Amino acid sequence: MEKYPIKLILKDGIEIKGTSFGYKGSSSGEVVFNTAMTGYPESLTDPSYKGQILILTYPLIGNYGVPENKKENNILSFFESEKIHVSGLIISDYSFENSHWNSQKSLSEWLIENKIPAIYGVDTRALTKHIRKNGTILGKIVWNEDKINFIDPNSENLVEQVSNKEVIEYGNGKYKIMLIDCGVKYNIIRRLLLRDTTVVRVPWNYDFTNDKYDGLFISNGPGDPKKCEATISNISKAFKKNTPIFGICLGNQLMSLASGGDTFKLKYGHRSHNQPVLQTNTNRCYITSQNHGYATDSKSLNDDWEELFVNVNDNTNEGIIHKTKPFFSTQFHPEASSGPTDTDFLFDKFIDLIKKNETI
């Protein structure tokens, strides 16, 4: 591969030079970091990264290539959506040779196909320490001295950009799940389909309040949850019923807002495979996969709700549960992909609530 210079410019004036291994172009976004050691195909296709330039702190990236575009149940088997959502990728060392039984192409080829700029040869750990100290920052990847502005993706309704525009049905199981697509990861759908469900995936602003379903699921997604006014309004109406509700990541924040609570932006977010969360009123701790920049203000919850999980590192909220109704949520990703599957049992809890509600 011929070497081409490219640079990352942060809004605070720092310029970092490196070498391009992706699309020969420029991009702008919010610069964030992920400390996971594996899972770049899953992370890059996670809609929650919409508008963000992603730093991977693990030094060697690309060694196992990119998997095939195989589909099962009408969704891709090895990706979390139909395309790459990051605005750019920053790594330390790129592996020009890849080897894996399921590798169909190199990471570089995939990035170029999707027109995603990428830089290697960067001290990603020093860059991460800068963000940890000063907070998440806007940045731009500049190719060939292009003139490009800094763009704050959180000023936009990113959920509207990544949510599906039409209703799609998956599976033919016994229990009908109404899934609000705020940028859903495909593994959430996979985990639900394994549990005798029919998943009806609807747009973020779809009015489902008069539809019949056995359980309501609110997905993950990018950006500021307060931009999703239509979703919040519909969830608040769903709270008046007793149909089970399960929310993940952005879904947790939206449920908090719909209940009258508040959310806030974290200094640099949680993006990793190793976030420890404590289940409240127990001594049980789980290692979880996470990807979010906003969190629920636990002090803003009303008396009908209580915390379900708390982050051990910084004591931020990791889930809420209604005291009397079958509603609960997690800030982390029990479906993983990538990451640990320690909390996959929460999908069983959701189905158990549906079965119990069915007999009432």
Any residues with CB less than 8 A from the CB of 271 and at least 6 apart, and which? 32, 33, 34, 35, 36, 290, 291, 292
Establish whether 130 is a catalytic residue.
no
Query: What gap in Å lies between CA 3 and CA 21, rounded to an integer?
Result: 8
* Distance (Å, whole) CA 336 – CA 158: 22
* Cα–Cα dist 54/51, whole Å: 10
Query: Rg (Cα) of the chain, in Å, rounded?
Result: 20
- Is there a catalytic annotation at residue 335? yes
Say which of 182, 249, 273, 318 is annotated catalytic: 249
The three-state secondary structure class of 50 is coil
Q: Is 236 helix (H, G, I), strand (E, B) or coil?
A: helix
Q: Is residue 72 annotated as a catalytic residue, yes or no?
A: no
Residues 6+ apart with CB under 8 A from 159: 182, 183, 204, 221, 222, 223, 227, 228, 231, 250
Q: Which residues pair with 17 in a beta bridge?
A: 7
Q: Which amino acids are annotated catalytic? A: 249, 333, 335
